[in-house]
Every structure is written in structure tokens, then in C-alpha cells.
Amino acid sequence: MAEPSGAGDSIPLDGPGLDMAAGEEFLQEVFRILLEEGVRKSTDVTQKVCDWKEPQELRELLDLELRSDGEGRERLLQRCRDVLRFSVRTGALPVHTSAHRSAAPGQPSASQFSPAQTPCGTAPPASARLFPGHPRFFNQLFSGLDHHALAGRFLTETLNTSPYTYEVAPVLVLMEEQVLATLRELVGWSSGDGIFAPGGSISNMLAMNVARFWRFPESRSRGNWDLPRLGLFASQESHYSILKGAALLGIGTDNVHLVRTDERGKMIPEELEKEIQRVKAEGSEPLFVCATSGTTVLGAFDPLDAIADICARHGLWLHVDAAWGGSALLSPRLRHLLAGIHRADSVTWNPHKLLMVGLQCSAFLLRDSSGLLQRCHGVGASYLFQRDKFYDVSLDTGDKSPQCGRRADGLKLWILWKAVGTKGLAQRVERAFGATRYLLEQVKRREGFQLVMEPEFINLCFWFIPPSLRGQESSPEFWDKLGKVAPAIKEKMIRRGSMMVGYQPHGSQVNFFRQIITNPAVTRQDLDFFLDEIQELGWDL
């Protein structure tokens, strides 16, 4: 042993082992950097979405190595500035011009889009431009930054606790309870259960696990060996976490049956019925259907009522992966997209996507109110979930999760909700929808842009056809060549740092752009810029 057992007196315990004054001052400086970098950069027209560096160069710039000795305050503050500088601004600073643009032949020049000249350009004051989310980051299903949610995250980080028991997290446990109940109400359930999970993938896996336990409670103790081979069903457009979950749960990816979709990316109910019959005929036991409300690439909504009918007929668990589309339930004008969701047995809904709550906030919701979730996951560790506590231990919800320590993901959503109300959240969803409609019109009007399909939601998928390929749509190499355009434009935009948008091939379709607009800071001007920039970057390909 390092310390002889009677050596208590030799240990410097007389004062705290942290320099707390210096620590607080450091924290204040970091907060100042967050503010100042924002203010300064928002007035700097050369500011980029990302400042692209090759990995090796960035490794050296950041001086990543972890050493034996600590560093001084100034060096550490510079490190914080560097983290901001070289990160991608998914939640950073909007800018409305790019000094890096140079007009391509025949194309509008950047200067046409400077704030002073654009017809719609009433740029907010510079001092107001911190943290709204870079309006030209469109790369993922999350983007934008809400100040109230961010304040909630700072509170959460400061509290640093796990909402597994009421005694250590009374406020957070009750907020989680409230937020989950409100989300369930929007699904259409007056009772039920749920838990926050670290992301939609894990939520989907919990659904699969609860479904297995519901049908075969003995699987929990005995594993899959005594069960018939199980069959899981999801559409061809479903999220990849269904495959990952099947692998993790010992069910196997071969036992996930991907049901054909229509031309809009929606599951075809008749095909689901056929798959179920086929799997039964092969001797497997259908268990679980995952319908998707808002697919990742196309933004398609599966027909829930028709799927629920099939599940009811066969006695299958219906899970709805509404990680992306669930937030449409907030809007009276859009919730029809999820008609029938109240018939689901479980739902995944990620407010960290469309509602900009911040990574992560994924609700796993259950219709069951008999304690299925607790019975499925609980093991009742006696050091944490003591039954002889003096309060209502049903508030010790931690055992409902396969996690032990768990982040308090409800607080930030609760604060945001209190700030803008259900109406305010609905308006954001509708604004995102409206922005997509505007962009859709522009894409249809502009030469060289071709829709992959009419969007149902806020995923706008399209190709840009460079002048060199126009009119050659019937040539044998056309699609091969077109498939190389999106990656080439993406590389150019990242190196330039002007914006970020995702692309992917999809089924037989070659690489196309998928534009997602969730950030309320995005204006018409940003949307015009987006299309101009693609046009410019792809002009000479």
C-alpha cells in the first residue's frame, strides 16, 4: 500500500485539493470566450462553417498529446479558443457573405448576396448572433442552437447527476416524469411509461428488447436458445439501428426482414403482410414491426394505421421509430403525418433533432403501464435501489434502463418548453416545413437542379446536374458521372468552409444531396445562398 495504514496525518487534507478561486475565474473566462468569439466572428464576413484541416495538420495544431504536467491558464484558454475555431459550427455563428466565393462563369457573384443588397436581408445586429446555429450547416438531422435549451444544458452539466433515484436527483426525476408524460399525451396516450435513452438507436433497441420480453418473459433469464427463431420487420428505408440492435440482441441481422417501400419510401402494408406470412412459413416467429415516421434519407412516413391493423391481426409488437418525425406531432397542421401512432406499443422520439434541444435527448415511450419496462430491465441492485427508503421508490426509475448512471436529458427540453410553449415548438416545426417548401419551389425553378422526389416532410433530396452533363440524361455514362458530382461539390464546400450538406447514394440512385432545414435561424437568404453555392461549386464539373 502506498500509505501506511496509520498515516492519515501525513496527508494534506487541511484544505481543499483544488484551487477554487482560480477554477471559478477560469470558468468565467471560458464563458467570456464563448460570447466574444461569437460576437467577433459574427461580424467577420470571412467566417466559415468549418475551417478545414487535414487530420495530421489538425493534430499538430491542437498539440493533442497528454503529458505529465499541467499547463497554465493562458495556454488552456487558448486551447478552448482553438476547439471553437477548428470545430464545425453546427451551433455557432451565422454569416451572410463569404469572402471565399469567386464568381463562376455565368453565375451570380457573391456580392449579390451581401446583407446590404439582398432584398430580404435584414441581418440581425452583430451582438445578437451568438449560438443560433450556423444557418449553413445542413449536414445532419440536428442543427441550430436554442439559447434556452443551451442554458438547460449548462444547468445539467453543473448539477452533474444521474436521474436514477429521487434522492440524488429530485428535480430531474420529476421533470423527466413530466416531459415523458407530455410527449406521451402528444402520441395520444393518457397513461404509459418511458425513459430517456442515449440516442434513438438505443431507444429502438430497448423497444426490441421489451417486445421480446413481453412475448417471452423467460428469455430474460434463459436467453434466446429456448425461443423460436424470431422475426423482426422494418422497411427498406428504416434506420440502420434496427440491424445493429438485432445483432446486439442476439437475434441476428438475417432475422430483420426489410419490407419493400413504395416510390415515396413508405412501407407497403401488403408487402409487410407477405413477409410475415413468408417468415411464418419458414418456421420463424414474427415478433416485432418497426414502422418509421420520418425516414432518415427521404423523410417518409409509413402508413401507421394499416400497419397497426396487420400487427393486431398477428399479435405483433408495433414500434414506431419517430426519432426524426415525432416532432411533427406538435403541429396541428402536420400531425396527420403520424395518424395512427396511438396504436403503437412503443415509440422512439428524439427532440434533439427537430426541436434543437441538443445532443442527446431521445425519449423511449411505452403504452404499457403495467411495469413491463421495469420488469424487463430491472435487477434491483441493493446498493442503489434500496427498498427501505423513506419515500415512494417508484420514483427511482433508474432500474427501467439497461444503463446505470444516465444523463439527465429531460431538463433542457423542459426549460425550452417552458420558454416557448407547445405553440412555439409547433411554430418551429412549421417554419422548418415552410423553409423546405420555399426551397422546393426554387429547386424546381432553377436549371440544372433535379428533384429525387417531392418531399413529404423536410428532407429535400435533389441532384445538381452540371452544365457539362445537361442534355445527356440518356447517355450510358450519365448516372455514373452524376454520382461523382455531389462528393466533388461537398469536398469543395468543406475546403471553402462555406456550408455543409449531406449526400448519399440510395438504392439504385446515385449520390444526391439531402437538404434538411431545422434551424429557425435560417432565412430565405440562406436558402438562396445554398442553391447559389451548389451551382457555383458544381459549375465546371
Nine-digit cell string for 234: 422494418
Compare residues 343 and 530 and give the one whose CB is closer to a copy of itself: 530
C-beta of residue 448 within 8 angstroms of C-beta of residue 521: no
- How far is residue 213 from each of residues 81, 201, 203, 222, measured CA to CA in Å? 49, 19, 15, 11
Which of 98, 235, 238, 241 binds a copy of itself (CB under 8 A)? It is: 241
Q: CB-based contacts of 339: which residues, under 8 Å, 6+ apart? A: 304, 305
Quick check: 506 binds a copy of itself (CB under 8 A)? Answer: yes
Quick check: 366 binds a copy of itself (CB under 8 A)? Answer: no
CB of 268 to a copy of itself, least distance (A): 22
Compare residues 55 and 476 and give the one whose CB is closer to a copy of itself: 55
Compare residues 193 and 308 and give the one whose CB is closer to a copy of itself: 193
Which of 262, 305, 454, 473 binds a copy of itself (CB under 8 A)? It is: 454
C-beta of residue 505 within 8 angstroms of C-beta of residue 513: no
Compare residues 202 and 267 and give the one whose CB is closer to a copy of itself: 202
Which residues within the stretch 147-166 sit at the binding site for a copy of itself (CB under 8 A)?
Answer: 147-148, 150-151, 153-155, 157-162, 166
Phi/psi at 248 (5° precision): -65, -35
Q: Are strands 362-366 and 230-235 parallel, antiparallel or unpaired?
A: unpaired
DSSP state letters, 213-235: HHH-TTHHHH-STTSPPEEEEEE
Per the DSSP assignment, residues forming a β-bridge with 319 are: 290, 346
Compare residues 223 and 371 and give the one whose CB is closer to a copy of itself: 223
DSSP state letters, 69-109: S---HHHHHHHHHHHHHHS--TTS---S--TT--PPTTS--
Query: Cβ–Cβ contacts within 10 Å for residue 479, how many?
Result: 15
Quick check: 222 binds a copy of itself (CB under 8 A)? Answer: yes
Quick check: 477 binds a copy of itself (CB under 8 A)? Answer: no
Residue bearing cell 423497444: 207
Binding-residue pattern over the window 249 to 278 for a copy of itself, x denoting contact by CB under 8 A? xxxxxxx-----------------------
Which of 267, 465, 527, 541 binds a copy of itself (CB under 8 A)? It is: 527
Which of 95, 110, 130, 460 binds a copy of itself (CB under 8 A)? It is: 130
Quick check: 393 binds a copy of itself (CB under 8 A)? Answer: no
Compare residues 263 and 392 and give the one whose CB is closer to a copy of itself: 392
Which residues within the stretch 68-127 sit at the binding site for a copy of itself (CB under 8 A)?
Answer: 68-71, 75-76, 79-80, 82-84, 86-88, 90-92, 94, 120, 122, 124-125, 127
Site stretch for a copy of itself (CB under 8 A), options 143-151, 268-276, 285-293, 529-537? 143-151
Compare residues 20 and 103 and give the one whose CB is closer to a copy of itself: 20
Strands (E) located in 340-453: 346-349, 362-366, 449-451
Which residues within the stretch 272-311 sit at the binding site for a copy of itself (CB under 8 A)?
Answer: 296-297
C-beta of residue 109 within 8 angstroms of C-beta of residue 533: no
DSSP state letters, 8-51: GGGS--SS-SS-HHHHHHHHHHHHHHHHHHHHHHHT-TT--S--
Compare residues 132 and 308 and give the one whose CB is closer to a copy of itself: 132
CB of 125 to a copy of itself, least distance (A): 6
Compare residues 6 and 315 and give the one whose CB is closer to a copy of itself: 6
Compare residues 353 and 367 and give the one whose CB is closer to a copy of itself: 353
Quick check: 480 binds a copy of itself (CB under 8 A)? Answer: no
**Of 446, 496, 489, nearest in space to 470 by CA:** 446
Quick check: 23 binds a copy of itself (CB under 8 A)? Answer: yes
Q: CB-based contacts of 313: which residues, under 8 Å, 6+ apart? A: none
Quick check: 450 binds a copy of itself (CB under 8 A)? Answer: no
**Of 272, 246, 245, 273, nearest in space to 259 by CA:** 272
- How far is residue 172 from each of residues 99, 181, 380, 411, measured CA to CA in Å? 46, 14, 21, 6
Which of 95, 110, 179, 373 binds a copy of itself (CB under 8 A)? It is: 179
CB of 424 to a copy of itself, least distance (A): 5
Q: CB-based contacts of 28: which residues, under 8 Å, 6+ apart? A: none
Site stretch for a copy of itself (CB under 8 A), options 205-213, 267-275, 300-308, 462-470? 205-213
Site stretch for a copy of itself (CB under 8 A), options 56-64, 99-107, 272-280, 469-477? 56-64
